[in-house]
Copies of this chain bind each other. A is one copy, B any other.
Amino acid sequence: MTILVTGAGGFIGRELLSVLAETEEQVIAIDQNLAFIPDHPGLLCVEADLGDGETLAELFDGSVDRIVHLAAVPGGAAEADPAASQRVNIVATLNLLNLAAAQGNVPRVVYASTIAVLGDHLPDAGVNDETPLRPVMIYGMHKAMIETAMAGLSRRGVIDGISLRLPGIVARPPGPSGLKSAFMSDLFYALEQEQAYTLPVSPDARVWIMSVAQCVRNLVHALGCDSQLAPESRVATLPAIWVSMEELVQELASSTGNSPELVQYAPDSGLEAAFGAQPSLETPTAEALGMQHDGNLRALVANALATIRRSR
């Protein structure tokens, strides 16, 4: 059993590798920089760009059974450089899927899609598994296109695909992530380190979030779950904790023992519209597959803070 993880050096990829290190699985990790990944038996690190078709092709020797495709040009970076998004999020990703399919062993492919496929103007009455896709960002548009390819190739019986739409995953390390929603993560680091922070959305902004630990549990579950339970579209929007920024600040303050007064609000209308207007969320498809959110806000905050503290 060999698991290929793309984007293995990224925020989610590193957490996934640390969980897979506890198993007996053979793991191939690919990313541009893997120098900081702890070595473990069964781990093969391949430092390469996903667009390097020759290197990628060499990895598919017929023994890759499972793939977690995390590598992507993220939202803000894709918006700034649509050509880069097209190169990685479309072309390199299709090449990856084609190589996976050509092996002939119908590998399980878990694709990290995004709630950005839904678009900006979400229905006030809430989002569910029937909500039509209206992506506005290049990132969401390209991810929606690959969802179609994942379903088509699964229908053809050449891969066994599952696309998971990830909500906001917290707490990403501060710094340039290329994600427009980075403020959600920055808030965790600020309160954990007792630093003042100005949120670019209002106290009433409501978001869907999940801890990276819970996200990784869902990815690992998706590697082995019964795809007979997946819908014909092979897509599931992950469940998430639905919370206002004010509630999140209160819980973070309470969990860290720091003051909620550290946080100021200076709403940016664009960010508020794109990330602060998430309505209620129903995810029966993902739940039927066995996917879960963090349980409640307190558990989510504890999970996220534990990852921050462990990473020091």
Contacts and interface: CB of A to CB of B under 8 A. Distances in A.
A155 interface: yes
Contacts of A148: 133, 135, 141, 144-145, 148
A136 B119 contact: no
A240 interface: no
Interface in A121-141: 132-136, 138, 140-141
Interface in A68-116: 82-83, 86, 90-91, 94, 98
Contacts of A152: 135-136, 138, 140-141, 144
A134 B150 CA distance: 11
Contacts of A91: 90-91
Given A119-B155, A155-B136, A86 B82 contact: no
Nearest to A102: B82
A133 B90 CA distance: 20
Interface of A: 82-83, 86, 90-91, 94, 98, 119, 132-136, 138, 140-141, 144-145, 148-149, 151-153, 155-156, 232-233
Nearest 9 A/B pairs, CB to CB: A141-B152, A145-B145, A145-B148, A144-B148, A135-B152, A136-B155, A86-B94, A136-B156, A134-B232
